[in-house]
Chain A
Amino acid sequence: MKLTLQVNGRDTSIDLQASAPAARFQIDGSPPREALIEIAGPGVYSVLLDGRSYDAFVEETPAGLIVSLDGFRFEIQVKDPRRWTRAAAGRAGEGVQTLTSPMPGKVVRLLASPGDTVEAGQGILVVEAMKMQNELKAARAGTVLTIAAREGATVAAGEPLATVG
Chain B
Amino acid sequence: MFRKVLIANRGEIAVRVIRSLREMGIASVAVYSDPDRTSLHVRMADEAVHVGPGPSSESYLRIDRILAAARVRGADAIHPGYGFLSENAEFAAACEAAGVTFIGPSAGSIRAMGSKTAARRSAIAAGAPVVPGVDHAVTAEELRDFARTHGYPILLKAVAGGGGKGMRRVDRDADLDSALRDASSEAERAFRNGDIYVEKLIERPRHIEIQVLGDRHGNMVHLGERECSIQRRHQKVIEECPSPLVARYPEMRHAMGEAAVRAAKAADYYNAGTVEFLVDQEHRFYFLEMNTRLQVEHPITELVTGLDLVRLQVEIAAGARLPFTQDQVSWRGSAIECRIYAEDPFNDFLPYPGKITRLTRPLGPGIRLDGCVYDGWTVPMEYDPLLAKLAVWADTRGNAIARMVRALGEYDVAGIRTNIAFFRQILEDPEFRAGGLHTGFIEEFFRRATPPEPRSDAAAVAALVAALHSASRTSAAAPPSVRLSRWLQQGREDLLR
- Are both chains from one complex? yes
A72 to B60, CA, bound (A): 38
Looking at the complex, which of B88-96, B116-124, B409-417 is the stretch in contact with chain A? B409-417
Nearest residue in B to A48 (C-beta to C-beta)?
B461
Instruction: Tell me whether A134 is interfacial, beta carbon within 8 Å.
Output: yes
User: Which segment of B146-154, B177-185, B482-490 sits at the interface?
Assistant: B482-490
Q: Which of A25, A57, A76, A102 touches B412 (beta carbons < 8 Å)?
A: A57
Complex CA gap A151/B415 in Å reads: 25
> What's the Cα separation between A27 and B459 when bound, in Å?
10
Measured CA separation A131–B341 after assembly (Å) = 13
Contact between A104 and B354 (Cβ–Cβ < 8 Å)?
Answer: yes
* A106, B382: Cα distance in complex, Å: 10
Say yes or no: A23 contacts B481, CB within 8 Å: no
A residues in contact with B467, CB < 8 Å: 1, 3, 5, 14, 16, 25, 78
A106 contacts which chain B residues (CB < 8 A)? 381
**Which chain A residues lie closer than 8 Å to B409 at the CB level?**
70-71
CB pair A65–B469 under 8 Å, yes or no, is yes
**Residue A62 at the chain B interface, CB threshold 8 Å:** yes
A59 pairs with B466, CB closer than 8 A: no
A58 lies within 8 A of B461 (CB): no
B461 and A35 contacting across the interface, CB-CB below 8 Å: yes
- Report if B495 contacts A (CB, 8 A): yes
Q: Which residues of B contact A7 (CB under 8 A)?
A: 459, 462-463, 466
For A111, the chain B residues whose CB sits under 8 A away are none
Say how far A50's CB is from chain B's closest CB, in angstroms: 7
- A1-B471, A25-B467 known; A67-B462 Cβ under 8 A: yes
**Chain A: interface residue count, which band?**
35 or more
Q: Which residues of A contact B414 (CB under 8 A)?
A: 43, 57, 59, 68
Contact A21 B481 (CB under 8 A): yes
- Bound CA span A54–B457, Å: 10
C-beta contact mask, B337-360 vs A, less than 8 Å → 1, else 0? 000001110011011111001100
- CB of B491 within 8 Å of the partner chain: yes
Residues from chain B with a CB closer than 8 A to the CB of A76 are 462-463, 466
With A and B bound together, what is the CA distance between A44 and B462 in angstroms?
A: 12
Judging by beta carbons under 8 Å apart, are A37 and B481 in contact? yes
B134 → A minimal CB distance (Å): 29
Give every chain B residue within 8 A of A57 (Cβ-Cβ): 358, 412, 414
B383 within 8 A of A: yes
CB <8 Å contact, B466 and A73: no
Determine whether A41 belongs to the interface, using a CB cutoff of 8 Å to chain B. yes
Distance of A103 from chain B, by nearest CB (Å)? 4
Q: Which residues of A lie under 8 Å from residue B470 when comparing CB positions?
A: 3, 65, 78, 80
Residue from A1, A65, A104, A134 in contact with B466 in the complex, judged by beta carbons closer than 8 Å = A65
Q: Are B468 and A130 in contact (CB under 8 A)?
A: no
Across the interface, do A49 and B462 meet the contact criterion of CB distance under 8 Å? no
Contact check, B342 vs A39: say whether CB atoms are below 8 A apart: no
Q: Please, what's the 1-or-0 string for B433-473, where 1 marks a CB less than 8 Å from any CB in chain A? A: 00000000000000000000011011111111111111100
From B344, B424, B454, B461, A49 is in contact (CB under 8 Å) with B461
Known pairs A52-B457, A57-B412, A105-B353; A47 contacts B488 (CB<8 A): no
Residues of B within 8 A of A16 (CB): 464, 467-468, 471
Q: Which residues of B contact A (CB under 8 A)?
A: 342-344, 347-348, 350-354, 357-358, 381-385, 408-409, 412, 414-415, 420-421, 424, 454-455, 457-471, 474, 478-479, 481-482, 485, 487-488, 491-492, 495
Q: Can you pick out 28 interface pairs between chain A and chain B where the beta carbons lie within 8 Å of each other?
A: A7-B463, A16-B467, A37-B465, A41-B358, A42-B357, A42-B487, A42-B488, A43-B487, A49-B457, A56-B462, A56-B465, A59-B357, A60-B492, A60-B495, A65-B469, A69-B454, A70-B455, A71-B420, A74-B463, A74-B466, A76-B462, A103-B344, A104-B354, A129-B381, A130-B351, A130-B353, A130-B383, A131-B383
Q: Which 9 A-B pairs rank lowest in CB-CB distance, beginning with the nearest?
A: A130-B351, A74-B462, A71-B421, A67-B462, A76-B466, A78-B470, A103-B350, A129-B351, A42-B487
Beyond A5-B466, A129-B352, A132-B350, 14 additional contacts (C-beta under 8 Å) are: A5-B463, A16-B471, A27-B463, A38-B481, A39-B482, A42-B488, A54-B455, A59-B414, A59-B415, A69-B461, A72-B421, A74-B459, A76-B462, A103-B350
